Structure 1
Amino acid sequence: MKTTTLFLCAAAVAMVAMTSCGKEEETDTVAPAITLVGAAEIDVTLNQSYTDPGYSAQDDTDGDLTDQVEVNGTVDVNQTGVYELSYSVSDAAGNETTLSRSVTVVNDADFLGGMYSVSTNCASSSWDNDDFMSFITVSETNNNAFTISELRFDLSTTVQSVDAMLDGQSIDVPNQTVDGEMVEGTGEVISADEFEITLSTGNSCLNDFTRQ
C-alpha cells in the first residue's frame, strides 16, 4: 500500500511538471489607454489662466495608471499661438501610449485683423472720396488690443500706428501722441467686415473701415 501511494504521488508530480512545461507564458502586448477630459483642441483667451481639464489611464493588466501619466509641454497664456501638450504612460510590460492636446491662445480681437478700405467724413468737410487703405494688426501679448496702421483726423492729415482696444462691440482709442499729434476716439464694430472710429482732435472725423 505504501509503495502504491508513493507511485501515485510521483505520477501526479510528473503530470503537473509536464503540464507546466507544456503551457507557454502569456505575453502582455496591449498598451494602456489614455482618455482626455475635455476636448483635444481647446481655445484659451490671451492673458487668462489655463488649467488642464485632466486625463485618465487604464491598462487591461495593470489597471489604473492615471498617476503614472507624464505630461510634457507648456502653455504660455501671455503669448498667442498654438501649444501642444503630450500625455504618455507605460505599463509594467513596457507597452507605451502617447496622446496629445492642442491649446490655442487667442486674442478676442483676432477677427478684426486684416486689410481695410477706409473712407473719412469730417465735421468740417464732406466725405473724402479718395479712400485709403489701412491694416489692422492684432496684439500677440495684450488681449483685445490692436493697432491701426493709418487713420485720419482731417482730410489732409494721416496718423500712423494708432493703438486701440476692443470692449465687446465698442472700440476705444485712448489718448496718445502719434506723429506729434494728440489722438483719441471711440468707435464700434458694425459687422465682422466693418467697423468705424471717430477721432476727436479739435476736428471730428469718422473713419469707416470695410474689409478687403
Structure 2
Amino acid sequence: MRYIRILVVILFMASLGLCGAAKIRERAGEDPTKPVITNETGELEISTSYEESDLLEGLKAQDEKDGDLTDQIMVGNFSQFIEPGVCNLSYVVFDSSNQAATLTRRVKFTDYQSPEFSLSSPLVFAESREDNAMDYIRAGDQIDGDISSLVKLLDSSINYRTAGDYEVHVQVTNSLGDTVEATLPVHIVEASRISTEIHLIQGIAYIKKGDEFHPEDYIDYIEDIDGNRLDTDTVSIASGVNTAEGGTYEVHYQTEGDAGRGETWLTVIVRG
C-alpha cells in the first residue's frame, strides 16, 4: 500500500511539472505587443458619394510582430453628426494573435445637404374625395437615399370635405441624426376647378437663398379630361417666391378655356 501511495505522489508531481512546462512554452509564444493604427491626415474630408477606399485615406497600421497591417484595417460605423455634415468614424485592425487596435477620427462631408422632402404629386385634392396627403410626401437623403418610410406627421389642419387652404407639418431624420421639418401647403378645391390637369416637373423645389427662380420652368405639360395635350402658353402664373429670404413659398398655376379649368401649386423652399 505504501508503494502505491509513493507512486501516486510521483505521478502527481510529474503532471505538475508537465503543466508548468506547457505554461512556460505558452507564455514564451505569446505576442507581447499590440498593433497600432496611425492617422496621417487628421480630419478626413470626403464627398457624400464616397467609395469605401476613400474612408481609409491617410491611415496606416503596424505591428511589431506582423509588420504592415494597413491593408487589413476595417471600417466601422459613423457616429451621429457632431455638427451638420461632420461626424466620427471608427476603425479596427487585428494582428495574427487576434489582438485589436482601434482608432476614431472626424469625417467631414464637403457637399452635405440635409434631407429634402419631395412630392409624388402636388398636394391639391378635389373636395370630399377620399385621400391622404401623407401618401404623396417623400423624402430623400445624400447618405441614406430614399427615407420616405421615415417621414412622420407632426400636425395637420386638413379637412378633405371642405374646399380651402390647409397645411401639413412633417418631419424626417436620417441615420446620422439630421432632423428636418417642413410645413407644406395643401389645397382642397372644387372638382370643377381641376378638370384640366397642369402637370409639373416636381411638386417641391429647393432653391438656395439668392439664386434665380423661374416658375415657368417647372411646367411639364397640360392635358384635358380626355387626355389631350394643351398649349402650356394658356397657363397664368402667380409667384410669391422671394429668394432673398429663406422660407416656404408657393407658385399658383392656373388655366381656363373651352377645355375646362385647371390649377395647381408648386411649393418652393428657399434655404437660407
TM superposition score category, shorter chain reference? 0.3 to 0.5
Richer in helix (by share) = 2
TM-score, length-scaled by structure 2: 0.34
Q: Looking at both structures, which has the greater relative contact order when contacts are Cα pairs under 8 Å and sequence separation is at least 6? A: 1
Richer in strand (by share) = 1
TM-score, length-scaled by structure 1: 0.41
